Structure 1
Amino acid sequence: MLSVTRSSRRNFIREFLSFAAIRARWRATGGTGAQSRFKREVQERLGVLPQFFTPTEAAPELAEQLWAQAKAAYLDNPLPSLFKERLFVHLSRFCEVRYCIVRHVGFLIGKGNPAGDARAAPETIEQVNTLLSRPVLNAAQLEAVFARLENYTQPTNIPAPQTKAEEDLLDAITVMFVVPARSAQARAAVRRAVGDRSFEHITALLTFIRTAHYWTETHPEVGYETDMIMLMAQHQDLARRLLDTADAEWAHAGDALREALTGQLQVLNTELQHRTRNLLSVIQVIFDRTLSKHTTLKSFADVFSSRLDAISSVQAYLSRLVQGEKVTFDGLLRTELAAHAVSLKQITLEGPVGVRLRSSTLQTFALAIHELVVNAVKYGALACPTAHLTVRWEVEQNEEQPPLLHVHWRETGVNIIHIDDIPMQPGYGRELIERALPYQLRATTHFEVMPEGVCCSISVPVLA
């Protein structure tokens, strides 16, 4: 019994004095010079010592590893300090454990250094409340954000805080962060706006923010620091915005954004399925209507082939949506005119460039434009050297409804004697404009054959 006891004691002493055991006890107690240096480094850089970087007894070395990641992706990241901190706060709204948003709001208002930068000017509580109260965008609003970012002709610097440009960037980055698998268009828009280098730095920062969120979600025992407890006690509105799970915007923000993006994808998927199922039906209708208006095989073949080419062009346009692009009205109109090799000397085109059409309305709308052009080429202004075609368009902005594209098509100088002889009056094209567009696209249309040519107006919702 004595020998066993002595042996056990020797093993215990040997184990206790082993280097690994000494190092583990050394780190766990926090009483070492190295640990003190680590804590001093964190506090000097951030202005406070966050609980996030407090070593755990089970794996004390991980605190320093998290710190190394924080320095590389967050603190030493060359993006502007206030932008980094504002982005951290904005995205922390989507984390159910509230430690990150509380701590980084503290950094942003000067309870510590924003993004570890002692020179960065802190923001006011009012400015932070504005940032925290930004709504989650719906699908149509996100489309508008992406369009503005995609319109950058060359990469620009990270925008200043509290600007519209910064809001657009925050919204697009939110899509990248919350639903990365569905963020192809958002990534392309951000990259176009800020350039490849800044895009990669943004991605690195998102990686650390994701790490911080996951760490706090799996370690909910991490407590708030005293400075933020005192601050929230003094500012009840801010405390409720940060902590009240019944009223706080974060509770459903992630779900709302996912729903918006899911709805957007469902629209595209439904559209693709609809086109796949009904393409043959559309062709059949065109075949029947064309056949009923032509008595010779040649005339039938010419018109039917032309309409099939129009459908083919629409499908080519829609295929561009894979790259996150949208077809524009002026692009659609110019392409259709170019396909018929008409002289631009007879045409006046006036309207804003880049009015983006909704993918769900494109096919029917494009066919209507095709029918107008074909009619003008065969019987109207583009068939007579002395006639003229004027197409003017404008966008009406309304906060209560989607933007409306107003298109005004007017032919002059055609000198039509027998209006009833115009093939388009009882034909497929006019029926498409007067019946299909209002029914399918919620458009408002007016079509009239005047003595000098066709006069047509179409108002249809667009993305703008």
Structure 2
Amino acid sequence: MQRRTNLVTTRRPSISAVLQKTIRALAEVPAMRNVAKMSQPGSREFLTFAAIRARWRLGGSTAGQSRFQREVQQRLGALPQFFTPSDAAPQLAEQLWMQAKAAYLDNPLPSLFKERLFVHLSRFCEVRYCVVRHAGYLLGKGYPAGDARAVPETIEQVIALLSRPVPHAAQLEAVFARLESYSKPAPIPAPRSKAEEDLFDAITVMFVVPARSAQARAAVRCAVGETAFEYLAALLAFIRTAHYWTETHPGLSYETDMIMQMAQRQDLARRLLDTADAEWAHVGDALREALTGQLQVLNTELQHRTRNLLSVIQVIFDRTRAKHTTLESFADVFSSRLDAISRVQTYLSRLVQGEKVTFDGLLRTELAAHAVSLQQITLEGPVGVRLRSSTLQTFALAIHELVVNAVKYGALAIPTAHLTVRWEVEHCEEQQPLLHVQWQETGVNTAVNDSAAVQAGYGRELIERALPYQLRAKTEYEVMPEGVRCMISVPVLT
């Protein structure tokens, strides 16, 4: 009985009172002025609760709507101001609608993913119409991405999405590394998962600074695959169109469903409308800092690679000098090894940012440098196996030594002999993938051929000692009666 008494005697304020109270509380927020003015009697935009209710009923009715507006209402579950035809160019609204259907509504990416991404990226638009409207869809004020079957999110979940900070440089580097570590494209991640957060951070860079987003694009493409990446690009293009349209048409007003929602939840209203606290006000500085941080990281990496390169050259010099007694023979071999290093550097310089040197590309480049006949060679293995940058120089030198020895003493020195190189990638649980390379020469009579250099040369020393020590590789090197047989297993990116 006491519980019943409390329910009867405790009176909650009416929605009208909450609306007026919220409007007064937010009247000082610059982006809320268009709502605050509605509460002031005498204003041309004065809007009482009764008027709001009338507009609400009108917005939910299809009476007097055109075929185009009825289609929008049916598909979105609401009729947004965004698609209101202009008297000056009435056909443009329908053209925007066609673009929305193609790139956004009919885009096969998951509905909640599309809507959450739309809300997330709309934080970075100075005009707040898009973030308000699409937060409404996400909350069930209409349909998320036009999908009536999609389960709406709670206000707390939307506020959490709006509150995520822009990542700084170190976080972006870690994000890109995680996305690039995918051994194969993964499905679009579930809402609020760590994988979705990584994807949103990389896509943020693509969206806000597209001209400097090569690494972000490569990471996203690796994580989701080529097809999903293209659908993502189409969605981003429409979001950018929506932002530009609202920025050039700032007179678009918020729909009454979201006015009422913000009136009831001031914490949501502040996130959506308070331009002093919204993330977009700081995104320029944050991303400039992130990009500056990336440049610092790249500069540090360049210095590190330069030191490594000099160390490699010093080791090559010492080993070559120890194996050759004449200046002429030393110069020829040392020059050849420097050329191998130069080819790797040239290969690296031609890559787009975010790309990696691949094994098959490295192998074909080295074979082409020695003008060998491909008729004597069989190459079998997957294309595009990406090598780690930190291991590239040493691994490239090992391939160079195998090719040089084959050209001088092995299968590529004898027209009737043959070289077979096979490779495959093994994906291991909780470990980096392993690239297994099998180098097999046949048709070489090692008993007749001068194989002393092959038996105890720098190439064998590099493969048997340097690769396991520096690259954590597993290697086998044998001089068989018909030629060299070499096995190398080394960690790779994919």
Contact 2:442 2:483 in 1 (8 A): yes
Offset, 1:437: 1.5
**Please, which of 270, 284, 291 is the counterpart of residue 321 of structure 2?**
291
**Please, which of 103, 106, 123 is the counterpart of residue 150 of structure 2?**
123
Alpha carbons of structure 1 residues 456 and 210: separation in structure 2 relative to 1, 3 Å: farther
Contact 1:394 1:405 in 2 (8 A): yes
Structure 2 residue 52 is the aligned partner of structure 1 residue 25: no
**Please, which of 205, 209, 218 is the counterpart of residue 239 of structure 2?**
205
TM-score calculated relative to the size of structure 1: 0.62
User: Matches of 2:376 and 2:121 in 1, distance apart?
Assistant: 57
TM-score calculated relative to the size of structure 2: 0.58
Alpha carbons of structure 1 residues 458 and 422: separation in structure 2 relative to 1, 3 Å: same
Structure 2 residue 465 is the aligned partner of structure 1 residue 441: no
**Please, which of 326, 331, 334 is the counterpart of residue 304 of structure 1?**
334
Q: C-alpha offsets along residues 13-66 of structure 1, whole Å, 9 cap, x if unaligned?
A: xxxxxxxxx99812144689999879956998564699x99xxxxxxxxxxxxx
Offset, 1:433: 1.3
Structure 2 residue 88 is the aligned partner of structure 1 residue 88: no
Structure 2: 5+ residue runs without aligned partners? 1-39, 63-72, 83-92, 124-129, 154-159, 162-171, 247-256, 266-282
Contact 1:87 1:170 in 2 (8 A): no
User: Matches of 2:433 and 2:61 in 1, distance apart?
Assistant: 52
Offset, 1:408: 0.6
**Please, which of 365, 377, 385 is the counterpart of residue 335 of structure 1?**
365
Report the residue type matching 1:362 in the other structure.
L
Match of residue 180 from structure 2: 143
Contact 1:268 1:360 in 2 (8 A): no
Contact 1:441 1:460 in 2 (8 A): yes
Match of residue 309 from structure 2: 279
Q: Which deviates more, 371-380 or 313-322?
A: 313-322
Alpha carbons of structure 1 residues 401 and 198: separation in structure 2 relative to 1, 3 Å: closer
Q: C-alpha offsets along residues 124-145 of structure 1, whole Å, 9 cap, x if unaligned?
A: 469xxxxx99xx9844442256
User: Matches of 2:303 and 2:353 in 1, distance apart?
Assistant: 19
User: Matches of 1:451 and 1:294 in 2, distance apart?
Assistant: 26
User: Matches of 2:185 and 2:429 in 1, distance apart?
Assistant: 17
Contact 1:310 1:370 in 2 (8 A): yes
Match of residue 484 from structure 2: 454
Match of residue 245 from structure 1: none
Task: State the SS of the aligned residue for 2:433.
Answer: strand
Report the residue type matching 1:27 in the other structure.
E
**Please, which of 358, 378, 385 is the counterpart of residue 348 of structure 1?**
378
Structure 2 residue 214 is the aligned partner of structure 1 residue 184: yes
Task: State the SS of the aligned residue for 1:352.
Answer: coil
**Please, which of 370, 379, 387 is the counterpart of residue 417 of structure 2?**
387
User: Matches of 2:42 and 2:493 in 1, distance apart?
Assistant: 61
Q: C-alpha offsets along residues 199-245 of structure 1, whole Å, 9 cap, x if unaligned?
A: 47614515868999xxxxxxxxx989669x99xxxxxxxxxxxxxxx
**Please, which of 380, 391, 406 is the counterpart of residue 376 of structure 1?**
406
Offset, 1:107: 2.7
Offset, 1:312: 0.3
RMSD (Å), alpha carbons: 5.6
Offset, 1:273: 1.8
Report the residue type matching 1:80 in the other structure.
Y
Match of residue 13 from structure 1: none
Match of residue 62 from structure 1: none
Structure 2 residue 441 is the aligned partner of structure 1 residue 411: yes
Alpha carbons of structure 1 residues 225 and 435: separation in structure 2 relative to 1, 3 Å: farther
Whose relative contact order is higher, 1 or 2, with alpha carbons under 8 Å and at least 6 apart?
Answer: 2
Offset, 1:393: 0.4
User: Matches of 2:345 and 2:359 in 1, distance apart?
Assistant: 15
Alpha carbons of structure 1 residues 424 and 224: separation in structure 2 relative to 1, 3 Å: farther
Contact 1:91 1:174 in 2 (8 A): no
Match of residue 234 from structure 1: none
Offset, 1:356: 1.6
Match of residue 367 from structure 1: 397
User: Matches of 1:79 and 1:143 in 2, distance apart?
Assistant: 26
- Residues matched between the structures, number: 377
Match of residue 165 from structure 2: none
Contact 1:43 1:49 in 2 (8 A): no
User: Matches of 1:35 and 1:109 in 2, distance apart?
Assistant: 20
User: Matches of 1:265 and 1:426 in 2, distance apart?
Assistant: 44
Offset, 1:376: 0.9
Report the residue type matching 2:114 in the other structure.
L
Match of residue 10 from structure 1: none
Contact 2:175 2:201 in 1 (8 A): no
Report the residue type matching 1:387 in the other structure.
A
Alpha carbons of structure 1 residues 388 and 146: separation in structure 2 relative to 1, 3 Å: closer
Task: State the SS of the aligned residue for 2:329.
Answer: helix
Report the residue type matching 2:393 in the other structure.
Q
Alpha carbons of structure 1 residues 176 and 423: separation in structure 2 relative to 1, 3 Å: same
Report the residue type matching 1:123 in the other structure.
A
User: Matches of 1:79 and 1:348 in 2, distance apart?
Assistant: 45
